[in-house]
C-alpha cells in the first residue's frame, strides 16, 4: 500500500482528503504545517507528497524543495488556489510533478496521484535498467565484470582500430559472433559491411563459391556471375565462423586471399583485388587440428596474429549475475513486461549451474523464465533448472535447448570423454597405449584429456 503525505493546514480539507484517499486504498499521513511536513518527509515515510502552497511555518515551495532534496524520486503534487497559476508554474519549475487547483476535483486528483506513482515506478525501472546496462564494459551489448572479460573487452577495443586479423577462440555460446561484430562496429570500417559466413553450415562443395563467387558458366548451373562473400565484404569485415571446419584445399585459397589481398572467382581468369579485414572464429582447438594435420599450420599462424580467447562461463562466474540481470531487463523490454527481481537462491542456482552452452544457454533460460514467471520476483522454481550430478553424465543429460550442432557436439564430448576415461583405465593410465587403442595421435589424446579434464 502506498503512503501519501498530505500537507494541509485547513482541518476540514485535510479530513476530506484523508477519507477520499483512504477509500482508494492509500495510507494517509497528515501534516498541519510545512515544518511538520518536512520532518515527515525526512523520516522517509511518504511515497508521494500532496501539499498546499500557503502554509504556516514554511510554505509549500519549501516542502517541495525539502522533498526533492531528500529523495528526488518522490513525486510532489501541489494544491493551489484557483487563479494563482503563476505560483503553480513556479512550483513545477522547482520540480513539482504537477499541480491541482482548489476547489479540488477529486477524480482529477486521483488520476494525478495514480499517474505520478506509475511514473515513479517507470523512472525507478529505468534507473535499474541503466544500472544493468552499465556493465557493458564500454562496448554496446556486451556485459560482464570479471577480470577475464574486462581483459577481453580491452583487447577488442584495441585491436578494432587496426586492420589486424583477429582469431576468436571459445566454446559454443561464449559470444564469438558478438565480439566479432563489436570489433567491426568499433573499427574505422564500420560504415562498410560486416559479412558473416559459417563454414560449418555450408556444404563443403559449395563453400568455395560462397566465399569467392563464380563467373557465368563456371560450372553447370552457374547461369549468372555471382559475387562471393569476400567481394561483398570489400572494405568491410569478413567473419569466417567455425573456420576449423574448412577443408585443406580451401584453406590454401583463403591463405592466398589473406596474403595477397586477391581472390579468384570460381571459373575466373583474372584475380580480383579485395580490401578485407578478416575475423575468424573457432570452437575447435585449432592447434590440435594443426597437430592432427586437419588444419594448415601456415594459415593458423596467419590467422593468429591477434588471438582472443573468450573464456567459458564456468571460469568467470562473476559475470553470471550481471549477465542474468542484463537479459532480464532486455527480455522485460522485449516482452513488454515489468522488470523482475531475482531471489538470492535463484541467483545461486544460476551461478553454480554447469553452463555447457555458456552465455547462450543462460540467455535461453532467462528468456524462458521471463515467459513463465508471473510474479514480480524470479524464484528458484521459475528457473526450472536442476543441478545435475556431474559424475554419471550420460548423453541423455544433454540440455535440449541448443542447436542441432551444439547437441551433437555435446554428445560427442560426453561419448569421447567416457571412452577416453575407459581407455585410460584399461591401460592403467598408459597414454601411449590408450592413444593406440583409440587410434588417435598421442598429442590429440593429450589435448582431449586436458579439454575433458580427465587428468587425475
Ligand X SMILES: Nc1ncnc2c1ncn2[C@@H]1O[C@H](COP(=O)(O)OP(=O)(O)OP(=O)(O)O)[C@@H](O)[C@H]1O
Q: Please give the Cα distance from 233 to 249 (Å, whole number).
A: 22
Q: Please give the Cα distance from 420 to 95 (Å, whole number).
A: 70
Single out the residue of 5, 176, 339, 445 in contact with ligand X (rule: CB under 6 A): 176
Cβ proximity of 55 and 9 under 8 Å: yes
Q: Which is nearer to ligand X, 53 or 142 (CB)?
A: 142
Residues that bind Mg ion (CB under 5 A): 176-177
- Binding flag, residue 143, ligand X (CB under 6 A): yes
Q: Please give the Cα distance from 361 to 348 (Å, whole number).
A: 16
What number of other Cβ atoms are within 10 A of residue 447's Cβ? 18
- Binding flag, residue 144, ligand X (CB under 6 A): yes
Phi-psi group of 310: left, alpha or beta (phi > 0 → left; psi -120 to 50 → alpha; rest → beta): beta
Q: Please give the Cα distance from 346 to 328 (Å, whole number).
A: 13
Which entry of ligand X, Mg ion, none binds 356, CB below 5 to 8 A by partner kind? none
Which residues 271-310 are close enough to bind ligand X by CB under 6 A?
A: 283
Least Å from the CB of residue 420 to ligand X: 23
Q: Which is nearer to ligand X, 91 or 199 (CB)?
A: 199
Q: Which is nearer to Mg ion, 264 or 406 (CB)?
A: 406
- Binding flag, residue 178, ligand X (CB under 6 A): yes
Instruction: Please compute, for residue 369, the number of CA atoms within 13 A of its CA located in the half-sphere on the CB side.
Output: 29
Which entry of Mg ion, ligand X, none binds 444, CB below 5 to 8 A by partner kind? none
Instruction: Please compute, for residue 90, the number of CA atoms within 13 A of its CA located in the half-sphere on the CB side.
Output: 11
Single out the residue of 48, 156, 359, 423 in contact with ligand X (rule: CB under 6 A): 359
Q: Which range in 176-184, 260-268, 269-277, 381-389 contacts ligand X by CB under 6 A?
A: 176-184
- Binding flag, residue 170, ligand X (CB under 6 A): yes
Least Å from the CB of residue 153 to ligand X: 9
- Binding flag, residue 175, ligand X (CB under 6 A): yes
- Binding flag, residue 318, ligand X (CB under 6 A): no
Whole-angstrom CA distances from 144 to 100, 129, 179, 329 are 46, 15, 13, 15
Residues 6 or more apart in contact with residue 262 via CB below 8 angstroms:
256, 271, 272, 273, 274
Q: Please give the Cα distance from 42 to 66 (Å, whole number).
A: 8
Least Å from the CB of residue 279 to ligand X: 11
- Binding flag, residue 347, ligand X (CB under 6 A): no
> How many residues in the shown chain lie near ligand X by CB under 6 A?
17
- Binding flag, residue 363, ligand X (CB under 6 A): yes
Residue least distant from Mg ion (Cβ): 177
Q: Which range in 36-44, 175-183, 217-225, 391-399 contacts ligand X by CB under 6 A?
A: 175-183
Q: Which range in 38-46, 141-149, 266-274, 424-432 contacts ligand X by CB under 6 A?
A: 141-149
- Binding flag, residue 360, ligand X (CB under 6 A): yes
Cβ proximity of 19 and 55 under 8 Å: no
CA dihedral 250, 256, 259, 261 (to 10 degrees): -100
- Binding flag, residue 399, ligand X (CB under 6 A): no
Q: Please give the Cα distance from 200 to 196 (Å, whole number).
A: 12
Residues making contact with ligand X (CB under 6 A): 141-144, 170, 172-178, 283, 323, 359-360, 363
Amino acid at each position: 500500500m502506498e503512503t501519501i503525505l498530505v500537507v494541509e493546514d485547513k482541518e476540514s480539507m485535510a479530513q476530506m482528503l484523508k477519507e477520499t484517499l483512504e477509500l482508494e486504498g492509500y495510507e494517509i499521513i497528515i501534516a498541519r504545517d510545512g515544518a511538520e511536513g518536512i520532518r515527515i518527509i525526512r523520516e522517509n515515510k511518504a511515497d508521494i507528497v500532496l501539499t498546499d502552497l500557503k502554509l504556516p511555518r514554511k510554505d509549500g515551495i519549501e516542502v517541495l524543495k525539502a522533498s526533492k532534496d531528500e529523495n528526488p524520486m518522490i513525486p510532489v503534487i501541489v494544491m493551489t488556489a484557483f487563479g494563482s497559476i503563476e505560483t503553480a508554474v513556479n512550483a513545477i519549475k522547482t520540480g513539482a510533478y504537477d499541480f491541482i487547483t482548489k476547489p479540488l476535483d477529486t477524480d482529477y486528483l486521483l488520476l494525478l496521484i495514480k499517474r505520478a506513482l506509475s511514473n515513479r515506478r517507470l523512472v525507478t525501472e529505468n534507473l535499474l535498467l541503466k544500472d544493468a546496462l552499465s556493465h557493458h564494459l564500454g562496448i554496446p551489448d556486451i556485459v560482464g565484470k570479471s577480470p577475464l572479460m574486462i581483459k577481453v573487452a580491452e583487447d577488442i577495443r584495441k585491436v578494432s582500430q587496426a586492420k589486424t586479423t583477429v582469431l576468436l577462440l571459445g566454446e559454443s555460446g561464449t559470444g564469438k559472433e558478438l565480439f566479432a561484430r563489436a570489433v567491426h562496429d568499433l573499427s574505422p570500417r564500420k560504415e562498410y559491411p560486416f559479412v558473416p559466413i559459417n563454414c560449418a553450415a555450408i556444404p563443403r562443395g559449395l563453400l568455395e563459391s560462397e566465399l569467392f563467387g563464380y563467373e557465368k558458366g563456371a560450372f553447370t548451373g552457374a547461369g549468372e556471375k555471382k559475387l562471393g562473400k569476400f567481394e561483398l565484404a570489400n572494405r568491410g569485415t569478413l567473419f569466417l565462423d567455425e573456420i576449423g571446419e574448412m577443408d585443406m584445399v580451401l584453406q590454401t585459397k583463403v591463405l592466398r586471399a589473406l596474403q595477397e589481398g586477391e581472390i579468384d572467382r570460381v571459373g575466373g581468369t583474372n584475380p580480383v583485388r579485395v580490401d578485407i579485414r578478416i575475423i575468424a572464429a573457432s570452437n575447435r582447438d585449432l592447434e590440435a587440428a594443426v597437430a592432427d594435420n586437419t588444419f594448415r599450420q601456415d594459415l593458423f599462424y596467419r590467422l593468429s596474429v591477434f588471438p582472443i580467447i573468450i573464456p567459458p562461463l564456468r571460469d568467470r562466474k562473476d559475470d553470471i549475475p550481471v549477465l542474468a540481470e542484463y537479459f532480464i531487463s532486455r527480455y522485460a523490454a522485449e516482452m513488454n513486461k515489468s522488470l523482475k527481481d531475482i531471489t538470492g537462491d535463484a541467483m545461486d542456482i544460476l551461478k553454480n549451474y554447469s553452463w555447457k552452452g555458456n552465455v547462450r544457454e543462460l540467455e535461453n533460460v532467462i528468456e524462458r523464465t521471463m515467459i513463465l514467471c508471473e510474479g514480480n520476483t524470479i524464484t528458484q522454481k521459475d528457473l526450472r533448472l536442476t543441478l545435475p550430478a556431474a559424475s554419471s553424465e550420460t548423453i541423455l543429460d544433454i540440455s535440449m535447448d541448443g542447436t542441432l550442432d551444439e547437441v551433437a557436439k555435446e554428445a560427442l564430448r560426453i561419448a569421447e570423454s567416457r571412452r577416453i576415461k575407459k581407455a585410460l583405465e584399461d591401460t592403467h593410465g598408459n597414454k601411449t597405449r590408450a592413444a593406440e587403442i583409440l587410434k588417435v595421435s598421442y598429442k590429440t589424446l593429450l589435448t582431449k584429456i586436458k579439454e575433458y579434464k580427465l587428468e587425475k
